[in-house]
Amino acid sequence: MTVTGIISAIIIGIVVGALARLFLPGRQSIGMIVTILVGIVSALIGTAVARAIGIPTATRGVDWLELLVQIVVAMVGVALVAALMGRRRGGAVGGGRRSGMMR
């Protein structure tokens, strides 16, 4: 992968992660850095999935179907990461708050 390819993957990942978070209903308990990382990984996985199902990924313009696949993969990724991080944080933080209020 060239430097241009890496930079474009990062930019597309940022956009894909932000769009996934925008379209995903409810509140996600993850930060923007994690969202961007999930978006970058999802953009790469989404491209591989698009190629595997036969969507052309090397066209002259914007590959709308590939972008749609990337966003769907990112929505799943953001939801999974938010659920895992929320569960991990909720136990430690939630327990401390309850015990502090009962005093």
> pLDDT, tens digit, for every residue of 3-28?
776 787 788 888 888 888 888 887 77
Task: Give the separation between CA 50 and CA 67, rounded to whole angstroms.
Answer: 9
Task: Give the separation between CA 13 and CA 68, rounded to whole angstroms.
Answer: 13
- Taking only the tens place, the pLDDT of each residue in 30-85 is 888 888 888 888 888 888 898 899 887 777 777 788 888 888 888 898 888 888 88
pLDDT interval class at 92 (50, 70, 90):
very low
Displacement of CA 31 from its chain's centroid (Å): 11
